[in-house]
Amino acid sequence: MSRDTDISGKLDWVSVLLYVLMVGMGWANIFAAVYDETANQSIFDLSLNSGRQLMFIAASVLIILAIIIIDMRFYETFAYVFYAIILVALMLIPIIGKEVGGNKSWIGVGSFGVQPSEFAKFITALAVAKFMGSVGFRMDSLRNQTILFVLILVPLALIILQKDFGTAIVFLSFLIVFYREGMSPFILIVGVSMAALAILTLIVENQWYLHGVIGAVLLVIIFFGKKNFKRISTLTIGAVILILTIESFDYVINNLLPERHKKRLEALVNPNFDPMGINWNVTQSKIAIGSGGFSGKGFLKGTQTKFDFVPEQSTDFIFCTIGEEHGWMGSLIVIILFVFFLQRIIFIAERQKNRFARTYGYAVASIFFFHFAVNIGMTIGLFPVIGIPLPFFSYGGSALWSFTVLLFILLKLDAHRSQVLQRI
């Protein structure tokens, strides 16, 4: 046991340092986001988000110690058990959960609530890694691919049932893991094309224009190429699939998507769409960040975030406080930290000696990347407003703990990488 816990020499201190930096900066900005000059407040005040966040940080330290103490084999061994438990928890939520901000994703524990969907992220990562790390796993097997998609789509579907669309689509980040492990890029390309088509469907009022363009392009391609039957039939089938896709998007958007998500999608593609209503968040978020200028207004000197112009300023929109008070320089530092952190995790993943650990590492990187890209993207108007937190910065216990567990399981595995038998 002593050999197992005394890993200080092997722990990746670069990652730990980045973690500490980001959590610390997050904490200061949470204080700034809710700071009221007239109230003579302390950053430690437990009635403030910053005070409570400090408690969450303290709990995180305990969680980290626990992760380090627990045997590294524990995570792989019990991955499917955790997965089963979290699925049950997610299924129970519609029955015993409480609703916060339009999402019914919380389970109350005293005055604090926890979100099982947050923990589903690292648990699914473990399950996926375990499956992909299993003996005889081949990425090119259709059966394996099907199982992998089921593994990520079941929690995704359960979370969508809680109307927490943001957290649900986080599970799409596993596509990056699959890609790394050999999945055909075709699926990613198709996915991106579908997204582009979806946006076009939103922008173009009448989808018959799109159909017309597709038909015209098809005819041009046929006209200028070899005119054999196989080529023409393949192209025609492709075009029909595109047209059917557009039709189905149109149907989904107009009939299945919740009204607020539909509006948010419309708001994204049309910046002038309802700036005081559905686009209020993005408008105010951009005003806050944009008003920071090059070097910012100074710590606690921001007016937009602390005076509540930006909604949810200590959780999903925490980046506004950074942008407003620390300007472009502050944004630069945060973004460089994140990009460096992501690269470091890829580096760690790649040096693992078994597929389980490497796959898990990629899952960690992908999940962090997805949060980083979507969260900052939405605050600066590059992505629809989807409520997911900025890792380590956003206020909230469940999110912080989930991200901490996600990261430190990887660091624990990494610390013991030399003990692991190569199983590739």
Rg (CA), the chain: 23
Nearer residue to another protein within complex by CB, 99 or 308: 308
Nearer residue to another protein within complex by CB, 59 or 188: 188
| SS3 (DSSP) at 107 | strand
Task: Give the list of residues 6+ apart from residue 271 with CB closer than 8 angstroms, or none.
Answer: 279, 381
Q: How far apart are CA 403 and CA 338, in angstroms?
A: 14
Nearer residue to another protein within complex by CB, 130 or 286: 286
By the 8 A CB rule, do 266 and 385 touch? no
Nearer residue to another protein within complex by CB, 61 or 189: 189
Nearer residue to another protein within complex by CB, 232 or 333: 333
Nearer residue to another protein within complex by CB, 64 or 132: 132
Q: How far is the CB of 277 from another protein (least distance, A)?
A: 11
Q: How far is the CB of 403 from another protein (least distance, A)?
A: 17
Let me know how long the chain is.
424
Q: Which residues pair with 113 in a beta bridge?
A: 108
How many CB atoms sit inside 10 A of residue 326's CB? 23
Residue numbers at the binding site for another protein (CB under 8 A) = 36-38, 176, 179-182, 276, 284, 286-294, 303-304, 306-309, 323-324, 327-328, 331-332, 335-336, 338-339, 342-343, 346, 350, 362, 365, 369, 372-373, 376-377, 380, 382
Give the chain's count of helices (H) and strands (E): 17, 3
In the chain, the N- to C-terminal Cα span, in Å, equals 27
Q: How far is the CB of 404 from another protein (least distance, A)?
A: 21
By the 8 A CB rule, do 391 and 122 touch? no
- Candidates 238, 232, 237; CA nearest to 219 is 232
Q: How far is the CB of 367 from another protein (least distance, A)?
A: 12
How many CB atoms sit inside 10 A of residue 308's CB? 12
Q: How far is the CB of 276 from another protein (least distance, A)?
A: 7
116-133 vs 142-161: helix crossing angle, rounded to 10:
180
Q: How far is the CB of 18 from another protein (least distance, A)?
A: 14
Tokens of 392: 């380590």
Q: How far is the CB of 82 from another protein (least distance, A)?
A: 26
Nearer residue to another protein within complex by CB, 256 or 332: 332
